[in-house]
């Protein structure tokens, strides 16, 4: 059993912190906080790549087996997207508990292995049935990273730059998504867009689909949603009566395999980084906490190490006096102020998803096809959304240093509502009339939708993503931070899964106009609620935040 060195030495009121700080060497080579953040957020890069890559892979997976695709139907499309999110929900909860028990760095090391294993499995899966468990594993790693990396960064970074350091996590998520979108576009261009080779057409009405090599878009154009003559059932029957002997549908495998590279880099790099000093303190390992802090602190910039350790110990002693149980969900639920704080964290996590951001991350190519783009053009256009996401997240690093968390998030939800309602207006007034007439919308309408999407991504990534991930990493007490953060992010992934499952059906049955109107109005309501209930954490140390939250929710 590890001795609890946070307790006072015999005959004294408190441990001699000055002596312990002076007598404890750094636990390893000094690592700049940017180096620590750069390595740890490779997990966030993988989070972004694995969630973003599917938007470009799905169009190829939809192609017939003979062309190298998986001949997906809408149910299987939802399964491929949804099973990752279900895995992420469990990964968030269990990942938080695992990081509380075994350490933040240790947990990230395990997640790197899961990222690698899941990527290899999905790449070589011959069917949806085989792919699904590997997608679940990838999701578990994604959820675990979403619960662990922000906490590791928040606990490792000095107070003066903690907001910006944790915001790097969000920047790396969207960088991973941009990387996925870019590689999707490159691989798509290298293959010349989706192509099939038709050797027989057994349909009574061949609708111009003759023998030989054909663009897959020429087949998709027969769907009623694209101005063609066939409803979904008729279209799938038509495709089943085609004999396809070749094609480039296997392009999706190249898209998926690329994330093995950062997974290997994460496994190597995180082993060179220090463990969280605050996690060591929770475990009563004060000398190891000091040694870890010395690896990532610059006394000239970050202030006295002795003062920081003293503040951490005082908070830790308060936690021990307050609770007999440590780090358990039962303790959180039985402590009224912690339970209220957990509900606040869950609400913020849900707000991160109700913006509708992932309707664009996962389905933008499909939405742009509804608006009149070809498959290849829509895959390439998704890069623009990725670029705006990265610009927005970089802008968020600046915003979070100059404005208060509460101000930024409230501005976000109202700005997002305006962008969503603008997209709804384009669909309702400019696109829907053409679909109703069985004609393709003008090409410029798709680019107008893309412009509104890009503006939406700039707003949401510079504000919502930065603030929510930063606050989830800092608003919970250290002894239950992992389990509370994991629980909040569990609900984030559940809502993400609900949106992912329902959005295609909403687009098909309600149309883009009404679908995006619903999301726009929802964000107006959420903005009004945030005005009344959102707390503020700007400019406070983690220990000060804990005291503020206990006072606010007691």
Bridge partner list, 198 = 212, 244
For tokens 């003979």, the residue is 66
Residue 343 has a CB neighbour count (10 Å cut-off) of 13
pLDDT of residue 179: 94
**Are residues 205 and 129 part of one domain?**
no
Query: Looking at the domain assignment, is residue 317 inside a domain?
Result: no
The CA-to-CA distance between both ends of the chain, in Å, stands at: 34
For 408-464, the DSSP string reads: HHHHHHHHHHHHHHHHHHHIIIIIHHHHHTT-PPPHHHHHHHHHHHHHHHHHHHHTH
Query: Looking at the domain assignment, is residue 398 inside a domain?
Result: yes
Query: Looking at the domain assignment, is residue 180 inside a domain?
Result: yes
Query: Looking at the domain assignment, is residue 221 inside a domain?
Result: yes
Per 3-state DSSP, the chain is made up of helix, strand and coil in percentages (nearest 5) of: 75, 5, 20
Query: Looking at the domain assignment, is residue 453 inside a domain?
Result: yes
Structural Rg of the chain based on CA atoms: 25
Q: What CA dihedral angle connects 505, 510, 513 and 514, to 10 degrees?
A: -110
**Are residues 433 and 359 part of one domain?**
yes
For tokens 């240790």, the residue is 106
What CA–CA distance (Å, rounded) separates 453 from 445? 12
**Are residues 179 and 199 part of one domain?**
no
Q: Is the dihedral of CA 310, 485, 103, 177 positive or negative?
A: negative
For tokens 């060195």, the residue is 5
Distances (CA, A) of 237 to 58, 125, 500: 20, 26, 26
What CA–CA distance (Å, rounded) separates 29 from 329? 36
What CA–CA distance (Å, rounded) separates 333 from 528? 27
For tokens 């495709």, the residue is 239
DSSP 203: -
For 275-305, the DSSP string reads: PPHHHHHHTT-HHHHHHHHHHH--HHHH--H
Q: What are phi and psi of 280, to 5 degrees?
A: -60, -40
**Are residues 505 and 356 part of one domain?**
yes
Residues 6+ apart with CB under 8 A from 299: 305
Query: Looking at the domain assignment, is residue 303 inside a domain?
Result: no
Bridge partner list, 196 = 214, 247
Bridge partner list, 201 = 242
Structure token digits, residue 384: 């623009």
| Chain center to CA of 236 | 33
Bridge partner list, 246 = 197
Residues 6+ apart with CB under 8 A from 493: 85, 86, 88, 89, 92, 139, 143, 146
Contact by Cβ (8 Å): 482, 100: yes
Q: Report the residue count for the chain.
A: 554
**Are residues 135 and 88 part of one domain?**
yes
Structure token digits, residue 266: 């994460």
How do beta strands 242-247 and 212-215 pair?
Answer: unpaired
**Are residues 269 and 135 part of one domain?**
yes
**Are residues 240 and 166 part of one domain?**
no
Residues 6+ apart with CB under 8 A from 310: 17
Distances (CA, A) of 403 to 42, 452, 544: 27, 25, 19
Query: Looking at the domain assignment, is residue 309 inside a domain?
Result: no
**Are residues 221 and 151 part of one domain?**
no
**Are residues 448 and 538 part of one domain?**
yes
pLDDT, tens digit (0-9, with 9 covering 90-100), for 172-229: 888 999 999 999 999 999 998 899 999 999 998 888 888 999 999 889 888 877 777 8
Question: What 3-state DSSP class applies to 244?
Answer: strand
pLDDT, tens digit (0-9, with 9 covering 90-100), for 354-408: 998 888 888 888 889 888 888 899 999 999 999 998 998 888 878 887 888 888 9
Q: What CA dihedral angle connects 132, 134, 140 and 142, to 10 degrees?
A: -100
**Are residues 200 and 185 part of one domain?**
no
Distances (CA, A) of 49 to 56, 117, 138, 150, 481: 11, 15, 11, 17, 26
Query: Looking at the domain assignment, is residue 278 inside a domain?
Result: no
- Among the candidates 247, 281, 313, a domain finishes at 247
CATH number (domain holding residue 524):
1.20.1250.20
Which residues, given as ranges, of the chain have pLDDT below 70?
1-15, 27, 302, 318-327
Question: What 3-state DSSP class applies to 199?
Answer: strand
**Are residues 50 and 105 part of one domain?**
yes
Q: What are phi and psi of 212, to 5 degrees?
A: 105, -170
What CA–CA distance (Å, rounded) separates 63 from 57? 11
DSSP 273: S
Structure token digits, residue 67: 């062309």
Contact by Cβ (8 Å): 368, 450: yes
**Are residues 129 and 205 part of one domain?**
no
Overall domain count for the chain: 2
pLDDT of residue 372: 84
pLDDT of residue 4: 46
State the residue range of the domain holding 222: 195-247
What CA–CA distance (Å, rounded) separates 290 from 292? 5
């Amino acid at each position: 059993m590890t001795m609890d060195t946070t307790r006072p030495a015999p005959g004294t009121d408190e441990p001699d912190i000055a002596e312990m700080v002076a007598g404890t060497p750094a636990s390893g080579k000094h690592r700049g906080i940017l180096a620590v953040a750069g390595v740890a957020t490779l997990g966030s890069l993988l989070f972004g790549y694995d969630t973003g890559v599917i938007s470009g892979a799905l169009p190829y997976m939809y192609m017939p087996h003979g062309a190298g695709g998986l001949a997906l139907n809408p149910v299987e499309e939802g399964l491929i997207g949804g099973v990752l999110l279900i895995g992420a929900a469990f990964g968030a909860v269990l990942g938080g508990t695992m990081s509380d028990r075994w350490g933040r760095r240790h947990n990230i090391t395990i997640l790197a292995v899961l990222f690698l294993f899941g990527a290899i499995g999905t790449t070589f899966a011959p069917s949806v049935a085989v792919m699904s468990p590997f997608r679940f594993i990838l999701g578990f790693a994604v959820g675990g990273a979403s619960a662990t990396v922000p906490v590791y960064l928040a606990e490792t970074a000095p107070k003066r730059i903690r907001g910006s350091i944790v915001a790097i996590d969000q920047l790396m998520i969207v960088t991973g998504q941009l990387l996925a979108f870019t590689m999707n576009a490159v691989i798509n261009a290298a293959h010349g867009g989706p192509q099939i080779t038709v050797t027989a057409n057994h349909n009574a009405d061949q609708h111009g689909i003759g023998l030989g090599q054909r663009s897959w878009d020429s087949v998709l154009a027969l769907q009623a949603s694209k101005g063609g003559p066939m409803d979904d059932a008729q279209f799938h029957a038509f495709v089943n009566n085609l004999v396809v002997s070749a094609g480039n549908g296997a392009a999706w495998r190249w898209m998926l395999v690329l994330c093995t590279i950062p997974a290997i880099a994460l496994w190597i790099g995180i082993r060179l980084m220090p463990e969280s000093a605050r996690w060591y303190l929770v475990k009563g390992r004060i000398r190891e906490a000091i040694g870890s802090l010395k690896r990532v602190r610059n006394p000239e910039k970050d202030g006295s190490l002795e003062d920081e350790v003293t503040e951490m110990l005082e908070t830790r002693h308060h936690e021990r006096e307050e609770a007999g149980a440590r780090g358990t969900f039962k303790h959180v639920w039985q402590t009224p102020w912690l339970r209220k704080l957990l509900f606040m964290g869950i609400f913020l996590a849900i707000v991160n998803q109700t913006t509708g951001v992932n309707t664009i991350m996962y389905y933008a190519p499909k939405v742009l096809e509804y608006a009149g783009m070809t498959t290849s053009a829509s895959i390439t256009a998704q890069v623009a959304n990725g670029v705006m996401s990265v610009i927005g997240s970089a802008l968020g690093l600046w915003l979070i240093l100059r404005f208060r968390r509460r101000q930024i998030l409230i501005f976000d939800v109202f700005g997002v509502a305006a962008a969503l309602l603008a997209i709804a207006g384009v669909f309702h007034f400019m696109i829907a009339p053409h679909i109703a007439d069985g004609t393709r919308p003008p090409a410029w309408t798709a680019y107008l939708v893309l412009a509104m999407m890009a503006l939406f991504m700039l707003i949401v990534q510079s504000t919502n993503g930065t603030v929510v991930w930063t606050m989830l990493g800092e608003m919970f007490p250290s002894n239950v931070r992992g389990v509370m953060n994991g629980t909040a992010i569990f609900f984030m992934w559940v809502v993400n899964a609900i949106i992912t499952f329902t959005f295609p059906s909403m687009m098909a049955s309600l149309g883009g106009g009404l679908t995006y109107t619903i999301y726009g109005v929802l964000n107006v309501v959420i903005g009004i609620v945030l005005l009344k209930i959102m707390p503020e954490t700007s400019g406070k140390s983690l220990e000060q935040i804990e005291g503020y939250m206990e006072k606010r929710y007691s």
